[in-house]
Structure 1
Amino acid sequence: MYIPQIQLKNLKQLVIPGKVIVIYGARRTGKTTLLREFLKKEKEPYTLVSGEDITIQSYLSSQSIEKLKAFVGATRLLVVDEAQKIPHIGINLKLIVDHMPDVRVIVTGSSSFDLARSTGEPLTGRKFTLKLFPIAQLEIGQIEKIHQTQANLENRLIYGSYPEIVLMPDNKGREHYLKEIVSSYLYKDILEMDGVRHSSKISRLLQLIAFQIGKEVSLSELGTSLGMSKNTVERYLDLLEKAFVVQRLTGFSRNLRNEITKNCRYYFLDNGIRNALINNFNLLEQRNDAGELWENYIIIERLKRQE
């Protein structure tokens, strides 16, 4: 079953000549599905390639206008999956949109962090970005009736709303899936960064954040608990936010100076990931953090609507 994605409508509106559409998002949130649904109704000639293909890499890393024109040919839509695998992809996409003004371009990849780094500066003023999150209730509401939503709400608070989780028939499967994401994907992008070597400390940091949902977070206290500096904690949290694991919520004050110095709160982009990190999939009636789960869920649903 396909769950209609709100960003599909946005994608249709943003794909225009002279711009590159960069699709970001956590792993397993439906970026490939979004592309597939978009291309089903594409009327003009398009080319879909993977950045993991060495031949494709040789063309799209060439920085040669002649080679790039030969590669694009008569296509009017170039779609590059796993674009972050291609060296100098940002510069080459800039050459394409500058010298082939009739061509539309969409790029995406499994590592949003690497994709953002490789396309950011070269495509300044030449790109639109779309962010994909786990499925929003607004999207799920298109395939289920209100009584079904009410019946499934507790599951959403406990297991979250990754696309495969929503469509999965049993809770044991959901638990296994979430634990697999946490063990295999959650830290992957961050640990590939230079200078990030402590997967155990990142895991512990996330667990501490998981127990502080709805509370102001002191970076100094976290640093003391983890045996690392405040600056290192701040850096790790920034990386986790860029990797679509957590979302920072800054304080509000009518006094701007006070607002800047206020501690932040952190929320997880998905309730299921949060619960997998602390290994707690108990029913709401058996837990003492039901209020925190509701708060996290509502904050992130609001974020999805804003994006």
Structure 2
Amino acid sequence: MIKREIIPYILEDWDLKKAIILLGPRQVGKTTLINELIKDKSVLKLNGDEPQTRIQLSNADFNFLKNLISDYDVVFIDEAQRIENIGLAIKMIIDAKLGKQIIVTGSSSLDLGNKINEPLTGRKWEHKLFPLSWREIRNEYTFANAIGRLEEFIIYGMYPEVVTSTQKRKVLLQLSGSYLYKDILELVNIKMPDLLIKLLNALALQLGNEVSYNELAKILGVDRLTVVNYIDLLEKAFVIFRLHPYSTNQRNEITSKPKIYFYDNGIRNAIIGQFSPLKSRNDIGALFENFIISEKYKRLSYDGFYGKMHYWRNTQQAEIDFLEIQENKINVYEIKYSPKVKVNFTKSFTEKYHPENQFVVNSENFWEHL
């Protein structure tokens, strides 16, 4: 098992008075990670993908739950988003102070947030696990090896099975199929599943560009609200995430259109069926930008970042690729694959916002920022 950076933070939150919630996409290693943490403990494992488990836990009373877990120190509930009323069941166990550590994983925050958050207010520690990060791969395979595989990561992404597989395309095509958004299709009443596929393809082709919900609606032949709702579902299923424009209500700044990135480059490339080498591609800039910004997202999440992430552009088309803002301090990043590209940070931004640091990230120095 590749050692995950999140492990110390989970162990730090080992607390019999609270549940540990681990969220993230399917196949990023949540179950493997938890099994490693609890391998020497007395554990009751329950899987929400199993119909019998869903039946048992959906409307369980306290006496049943108490007897069910009585012989174990740890209760591990996998794929909990598929179990109705799971938050109430966990709340009963925690409030009874039975001295059991509850661990819950979910491959989406679709319904898990609603089922867990309200019942478990003040009773949970929540973490997110993503595809492998650059730092995790570097630590596992050495810096020299990881640097030599940069193009591979940009094209095939960093899902654990993909990184370790010799059949990367096959694994990715399986992952990028309905399995990736299984929870959306099964847990939410999707009226137009084909639209979900078309929307993902459109978003993949617009990688790195501002996204207009109205334009997507016209392309797909649906209303704007449907597009917004489907993008929200894809974000909750950890397929994509939005980067919103930074604005202090200045009239010449773009304030409405987000950029949409994929958590994993390989998933994006599988959706459009494009695994060509970088030298023959016309989307290398967008791919490198997605790689860096998704890695920054992982890095900041694992490091406990509590600020905001944005991009910036004004109506004169001056742009900053990535901003991280915390406690009124702004770090800005321009992302260019080629180290030969000369970058000048626009004065219309720097003179107005006075960033703390300005970085140019390219294929030769990216590792310094991750």
TM-score, normalization by structure 2: 0.76
- Of 96, 103, 107, which residue of structure 2 is paired with 1:106? 103
Query: Match of 1:274?
Result: 268
1:40 is displaced (CA, Å) by 2.7
Query: Match of 2:163?
Result: 166
- Of 199, 202, 205, which residue of structure 2 is paired with 1:208? 202
Please give the secondary structure, in 2, of the residue aligned with 1:186.
coil
* Gap change, CA 1:86 and 1:201, over 3 Å in 2: closer
Q: How does 1:11-90 map to 2 (within 5 A)?
A: 11-42=10-41, 45-52=42-49, 56-57=53-54, 60-90=57-87
* Gap change, CA 1:145 and 1:252, over 3 Å in 2: same
Aligned mates of 2:97, 2:51 — CA distance in 1: 23
Query: Match of 1:129?
Result: 126
* Gap change, CA 1:56 and 1:214, over 3 Å in 2: closer
- Structure 1 stretch displaced more, 136-145 or 116-125: 116-125
1:75 is displaced (CA, Å) by 3.0
Q: Deviations over 1:131-171 (max 9, x none)?
A: 111100111111112221121000000000000011113xx
Question: Number of aligned pairs?
Answer: 301
Aligned mates of 2:50, 2:194 — CA distance in 1: 33
1:186 aligns with 2:180: yes
1:23 is displaced (CA, Å) by 1.2
Query: One-letter code of the match for 1:129?
Result: E
Please give the secondary structure, in 2, of the residue aligned with 1:75.
coil
Aligned mates of 2:20, 2:149 — CA distance in 1: 34
Query: One-letter code of the match for 1:31?
Result: K
Query: One-letter code of the match for 2:99?
Result: D
* Gap change, CA 1:56 and 1:230, over 3 Å in 2: closer
Q: How does 1:233-244 map to 2 (within 5 A)?
A: 233-244=227-238
Query: Match of 2:351?
Result: none
Given that 1:248 and 1:264 are in contact with CA atoms closer than 8 Å, whether structure 2 keeps it comes out as yes
Query: Rg larger in 1 or in 2?
Result: 2
Aligned mates of 1:58, 1:151 — CA distance in 2: 49
Structure 2 unaligned regions, length at least 5: 302-370
1:256 is displaced (CA, Å) by 7.7
The structure in which a higher percent of residues are strand is 2
Given that 1:59 and 1:71 are in contact with CA atoms closer than 8 Å, whether structure 2 keeps it comes out as no
Aligned mates of 1:279, 1:295 — CA distance in 2: 19
- Of 215, 227, 239, which residue of structure 2 is paired with 1:245? 239
- Of 160, 171, 177, which residue of structure 2 is paired with 1:177? 171
* Gap change, CA 1:55 and 1:215, over 3 Å in 2: closer
Aligned mates of 1:3, 1:304 — CA distance in 2: 16
- Of 204, 229, 235, which residue of structure 1 is paired with 2:223? 229
1:294 is displaced (CA, Å) by 0.6
The structure in which a higher percent of residues are helix is 1
- The percent of aligned pairs where both chains have the same amino acid is 41
Aligned mates of 1:159, 1:252 — CA distance in 2: 30
- Structure 1 stretch displaced more, 142-151 or 295-304: 142-151
1:258 is displaced (CA, Å) by 8.2
Given that 1:15 and 1:105 are in contact with CA atoms closer than 8 Å, whether structure 2 keeps it comes out as no
Q: How does 1:132-151 map to 2 (within 5 A)?
A: 132-151=129-148
Given that 1:113 and 1:242 are in contact with CA atoms closer than 8 Å, whether structure 2 keeps it comes out as yes
1:297 is displaced (CA, Å) by 0.4
1:261 is displaced (CA, Å) by 3.7
Structure 1 unaligned regions, length at least 5: none
* Gap change, CA 1:21 and 1:259, over 3 Å in 2: farther
Query: Match of 1:262?
Result: 256
- Structure 1 stretch displaced more, 180-189 or 204-213: 180-189
Given that 2:235 and 2:241 are in contact with CA atoms closer than 8 Å, whether structure 1 keeps it comes out as yes
What is the Cα-based RMSD across aligned positions, in Å? Answer: 2.2
1:302 aligns with 2:331: no
1:202 is displaced (CA, Å) by 1.4
Aligned mates of 2:71, 2:224 — CA distance in 1: 53
Which one scores higher on RCO, CA 8 angstroms, separation ≥ 6? Answer: 1
Query: Match of 2:337?
Result: none
